[in-house]
């Protein structure tokens, strides 16, 4: 099975052009499955792995307390893997056809309130030094565009079209999308670039850099956002993704069409975006309960 996993990972990296992070996720999911089947049933031949083995693995994950969302991700990896194996005639039957994914309980995404966002930008200094200025731009871009952490890190100076007032980001599957931006954001970014150029004589093309002029890394982005949000937000989570949720929720609450939010976020399907309508409905319910005389009757 390990040999076929290696073939599949090479296919994802070279033909599907998946990001290294995505390929690593597939590798972890599939090698964990192979290890379980080998250790529990002494089965190594890919042809001999059946529905029973896969189902047993999934049940073991759920008994260990793994969330339905995480289990479903592993099932998705296995389905893609077996689709590839069937296409290449490496196996005759697909054991994933009978696998039923566990239901994921609906959970509204955390987000920062409009009041807290206003407080954030009122108290967050733009700064004069490089690090303070960069940190401000990180927060500004994440909230104003809803882009992902990886998309933020991948931005270059050429990603910004000042004349057309837009950003080009490269999302999942190397798909490009256009995000319109405000004059205020462009003005701030322009000032940041001036400070960046004054600070570093030679640097990578990436827009956002470490204090040493290197390409930013995910943990640094997380630390920047966490340090800011912990001071103003009451959310249990304080990650860059919270600002993405905040962008989408504020858009939905202010009447933006779901399809427009989908395009701005770079979601592959509308289903992934629909969670933000629940926040809007909840907001309406809260207003109704507070405002209508008979709301509690």
Question: Does the active-site annotation cover 134?
Answer: no
Whose CA is closest to 182, among 124, 140, 131, 136?
A: 140
Among residues 27, 191, 267, 278, the one annotated as catalytic is 267
SS3 89: coil
Question: Does the active-site annotation cover 212?
Answer: no
Distance set, CA 218 to CA 5, 150, 241 (Å)? 27, 7, 12
Among residues 148, 238, 245, 250, the one annotated as catalytic is 148
Torsion from C-alpha of 43, 27, 14, 215, nearest 10 degrees: -170
Whole-angstrom Cα distance, residue 52 to residue 103?
A: 20
Question: Does the active-site annotation cover 267?
Answer: yes
Among residues 16, 55, 166, 172, the one annotated as catalytic is 172
Whole-angstrom Cα distance, residue 153 to residue 145?
A: 14
Cα atoms in the Cβ-side hemisphere of radius 13 Å centred on 265: 28
Which residue intervals of 15-67 are DSSP H helices?
A: 20-41, 51-63
Whole-angstrom Cα distance, residue 12 to residue 83?
A: 13
Among residues 244, 245, 250, 262, the one annotated as catalytic is 244
Among residues 27, 177, 191, 241, the one annotated as catalytic is 241
Question: Does the active-site annotation cover 74?
Answer: no
201-207, Cβ contacts within 8 angstroms, sequence gap of 24 or more: 205/156, 205/157, 205/158, 206/153, 206/154, 206/155, 206/156, 207/155, 207/156, 207/157, 207/159, 207/160
Whole-angstrom Cα distance, residue 150 to residue 155?
A: 9
Strand ranges across the sheet with 166-170: 160-161, 166-170, 176-180
Calculate the CA 195 to chain-centre distance.
29
Question: Does the active-site annotation cover 244?
Answer: yes
Question: Does the active-site annotation cover 292?
Answer: no
Q: Which residues are the active-site residues?
A: 148, 172, 241, 244, 267, 276
């Amino acid at each position: 099975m390990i040999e076929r996993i290696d073939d599949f990972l090479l296919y994802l990296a070279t033909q599907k052009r998946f990001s290294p992070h995505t390929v690593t996720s597939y590798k972890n999911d599939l090698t964990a499955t192979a290890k379980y089947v080998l250790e529990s049933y002494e089965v190594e031949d890919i042809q001999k792995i059946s529905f029973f083995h896969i189902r047993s693995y999934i049940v073991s994950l759920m008994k260990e307390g793994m969330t339905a969302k995480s289990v479903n991700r592993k099932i998705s990896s296995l389905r893609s893997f077996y689709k590839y194996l069937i296409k290449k005639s490496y196996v005759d039957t697909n054991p994933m056809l009978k696998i039923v994914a566990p239901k994921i309980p609906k959970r509204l995404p955390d987000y920062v309130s409009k009041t807290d966002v206003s407080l954030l930008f009122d108290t967050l200094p733009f700064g004069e030094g490089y690090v303070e200025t960069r940190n401000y731009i990180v927060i500004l871009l994440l909230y104003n565009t809803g882009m992902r952490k990886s998309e933020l890190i991948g931005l270059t100076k050429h990603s910004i079209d000042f004349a057309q007032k837009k950003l080009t980001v490269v999302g999942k599957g190397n798909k490009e999308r256009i995000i319109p931006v405000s004059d205020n954001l462009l003005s701030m970014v322009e000032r940041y670039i001036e400070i960046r150029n004054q600070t570093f004589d030679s640097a990578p093309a990436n827009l956002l850099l470490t204090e040493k002029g290197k390409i930013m890394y995910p943990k640094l982005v997380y630390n920047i956002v966490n340090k800011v949000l912990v001071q103003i937000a009451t959310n249990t989570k304080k990650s860059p993704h919270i600002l993405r949720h905040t962008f989408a929720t504020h858009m939905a609450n202010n009447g933006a069409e779901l399809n427009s939010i989908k395009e701005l976020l770079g979601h592959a399907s509308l289903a992934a975006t629909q969670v933000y309508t629940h926040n809007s409905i909840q907001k309406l319910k809260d207003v109704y309960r507070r405002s209508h005389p008979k709301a509690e009757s």
